[in-house]
Amino acid sequence: MNTVIKEIRETLIDSIDPKALARSDYFFKQGEAAKVYGVKMGEVGKIAKLGFKQIKGLPKQKIFELCEELWQSGYLEESVIACHWAESLHKQYEFADFKIFERWVHDYLTNWADCDTLCNHTVGNFVMMYPEYIDELKKWATLSKRFVKRAAAVTLIIPARKGLFLNDIFEIADILLLDKDDLVQKGYGWMLKATSEAHQKEVFDYVVSKKAVMPRTAYRYALEKMPAGLRTEAMKK
């Protein structure tokens, strides 16, 4: 085991908070697998930053290998640290890195928290740098794994807020539209909500046009950022 990884794990054990551990059962439901130490996320972020200071001079591939070791543990806190480290390398991302990120998405995501942490930032940053990979997200949306499908949507949260990829976002929403999984519905509803920050009218028109078939959970999520008047109108139509 790498010395840094060993130190990370020892620090996590020393940082266990009984209240945070007890709350984990509340946050992870619906058949999610979330193995946790029970460390507050703010503290996990601090541990990640301290650990990265020790490894930032290493080659990118070596750091990705350390991230892999963290992912393999199955612990939420270790996966979050892996995401922090991978995101810290975003200026060095290259085309070939997508295969690494895609494997993490397919092999390691077991709950909404590690899905969103990885995809909002690491994968989201990559797609903004290399937008041709949007088509790969559309493929993810057609697959059977719930967190791969959620990943297809939540990867675009930050780009959506910037007004990017509007047509692609609607395509992914179309693919996921009738999905029965609550966490997938919340994922694409969140994507639409984020999109509405830059494209309010387009999202409003899209959501209202799908009202007859869009699950209530996704519908309500998508409308959350709308002005009260538009939300009221949408609920009447």
pLDDT tens digits, residue range 34-57?
Answer: 789 999 999 999 999 999 999 999
pTM of the model: 0.93
Task: Tell me the domain boundaries of the chain.
Answer: 1-92, 111-237
Which of 80, 72, 143 is closest to 108 using CA atoms?
Answer: 72
Query: What is the mean predicted confidence (pLDDT) over 165-178?
Result: 98
pLDDT in tens, 178-229: 999 999 999 999 999 999 999 999 999 999 999 999 999 999 999 999 999 9
pLDDT in the model for residue 124: 98
Can you tell me the distance from the alpha carbon of 181 to that of 31, in angstroms, rounded to the nearest whole number?
11
pLDDT in the model for residue 25: 66
The string of DSSP letters for 153-194 reads HHTTHHHHHTT--HHHHHHHHHHHTT---HHHHHHHHHHHHH
CB 149 within 8 A of CB 187: yes
DSSP 8-state class, residue 122: I
Fold of 111-237: Leucine-rich Repeat Variant (1.25.10)
pLDDT in the model for residue 21: 80
Which of 219, 230, 225 is closest to 188 using CA atoms?
Answer: 219
Structure-block tokens of residue 159: 């780009």
